[in-house]
């Protein structure tokens, strides 16, 4: 097997794990669900033989090994999305999703952690799905100074532009947008205690940490 086809087969394998993992994340566990997505029974069986998935009657679930691999992949995928969409401001029309899909197969763990740290350890992707935490999130090892940080990590008096809102709670996103707090808005942090108070345009807005933790700002 030459190098190219080896990489291609690994990429194919990772794609399969990703489809199954994402499917399970969204709540589908039946074999028929995945067959509808184009996964044939032999393919599923070969994954089961490798010890990545378990087939129990009509249902599929990931083994611990498969789950580990899936979380790793999806973490790379969603961090890459944050980087490309929110920081590099690439739009959907530029084929950004395709780039992301390629990136997730080639970036190393260290590189992934570096992106994560740079972005201030975000917890969700732009679609509002969770990003599994990596080692860097627990250690908070800040080898690179984060470019983006959430409001609770700012100091009073600091200014910045909203980079993104990161949460799976869409209600909170709507509330913030309703207040006019969307990416690109310039804000100033006035105080952090007893509640976070920020200023933007002619608005003074106070919020507790539940909200402040999901608003990520690019410092000025």
Partner 1 sequence: MKNHPHTTDDIKLNLESRQFRGHRRRHHLKYIAREQKTKKIILVGAPNVGKSVIFSNLTGKYVDVSNYPGTSVEISSGFIYIGDELFQLIDSPGINGLVPRSEDEQVTLNLLSDPEVAGIIQVIDTKNFRRGLTMTHQLVEFELPMVVCLNIYDEALERGIIIDAAALQRIFGIEFVTAVATEGRGMNTLRKSLSRMKISHHKIKYHPLIEEAVSEISSRIESKSIGLRGAILNFIASEGKTPVKLFKNPPETDSFIQSTVRNLVKKLPCPPGFGIQTKLIKHIESYTDNFLKIEKKPRHHFKEKLGFLTMHPWYGIPFILVVLFILYELVGVFGAGVCVDFLENHIFGGIENGESFGLINPFFIRILGPLNHPGVGAFFYEMLVGQYGAITVGLTYSVAIVFPVVTLFFIFFGLLEDSGYLPRLTVMSNKLFQKIGLNGRAILPLVLGLGCDTMATFTTRILETKKERTIATLLLALGIPCSAQLGVILGMLSSISFLMLLIVVFTVILQLGIVGYAASKLLRGKPASLITEIPPFRVPKLKNILIKTYFRVKWFMIEAVPLFILGTFVLFVLAKFRLLEILEKISAPIISGILMLPKEATEAFIIGFLRRDYGAAGLFHLADKGILDIIQITVGITVMVLFVPCLANFFVIIKERGFKTAMIMSVFIVSYAVIVGGVLNQILRLFS
Residue 53 or 165 having the CB closest to partner 1 = 165
**H/E stretch holding 112:** helix 109-118
In whole angstroms, how close is the CB of 68 to partner 1 at the nearest point?
A: 26
Q: Which is nearer to partner 1, 66 or 216 (CB)?
A: 216
CB-wise, 11 or 186, nearer to partner 1?
186
What angle do helix axes 64-81 and 3-25 make, rounded to 10 degrees? 90
In this complex, which beta carbon is closest to partner 1, that of residue 57 or of residue 184? 184
**CB-nearer residue toward partner 1: 30 or 65:** 30
Helix (H) / strand (E) containing 210: helix 209-212
| Minimum distance from residue 158 beta carbon to partner 1 (Å) | 16
Residue 106 tokens read as 């080639």
Q: Note whether 101 and 76 are within 8 A (CB).
A: no
CA quadruple 76, 78, 21, 13: dihedral, nearest 10: -40
Least CB distance to partner 1 at residue 10 (A): 27
CA 208 to chain centre: 23
Give me the least distance between CB of 123 and partner 1, in Å please.
Answer: 15
Min CB(74)–partner 1 separation in Å: 16
Q: How far is CA 114 from CA 41, 53, 111, 141, in A?
A: 38, 30, 5, 10
State the residues that interact with partner 1 by CB under 8 A.
85, 92, 126-128, 165, 170-180, 182-184, 190-191, 193-195, 197, 201-208, 210-211
What residues have CB less than 8 Å from 179, skipping those under 6 apart?
Answer: 203, 205
Nearest distance from C-beta of residue 136 to partner 1, angstroms: 25
Minimum CB distance to partner 1 smaller for 2 or for 92: 92
Q: Are 121 and 105 in contact (CB under 8 A)?
A: no
């Amino acid at each position: 097997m030459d190098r190219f086809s080896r990489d291609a087969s690994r990429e194919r394998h990772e794609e399969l794990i990703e489809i199954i993992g994402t499917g399970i994340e969204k709540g589908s566990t039946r074999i028929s669900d995945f067959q509808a997505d184009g996964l044939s029974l032999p393919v599923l069986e070969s994954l089961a033989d490798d010890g990545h998935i378990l087939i129990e009657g009509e249902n599929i679930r990931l083994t611990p090994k498969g789950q580990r691999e899936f979380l790793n992949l999806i973490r790379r995928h969603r961090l890459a999305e944050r980087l490309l969409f929110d920081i590099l401001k690439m739009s959907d029309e530029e084929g950004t999703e395709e780039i992301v899909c390629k990136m997730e197969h080639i970036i190393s763990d260290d590189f992934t952690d570096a992106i994560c740290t740079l972005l201030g350890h975000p917890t969700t992707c732009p679609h509002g799905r969770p990003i599994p935490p990596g080692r860097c999130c627990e250690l908070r090892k800040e080898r690179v100074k984060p470019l983006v940080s959430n409001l609770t990590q700012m100091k009073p008096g600091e200014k910045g532009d909203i980079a993104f809102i990161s949460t799976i709670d869409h209600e909170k996103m709507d509330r913030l947008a309703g207040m006019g707090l969307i990416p690109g808005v310039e804000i100033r942090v006035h105080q952090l205690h007893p509640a976070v108070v920020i200023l933007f345009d002619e608005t003074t807005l106070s919020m507790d940490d539940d909200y402040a933790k999901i608003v990520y700002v690019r410092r000025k």
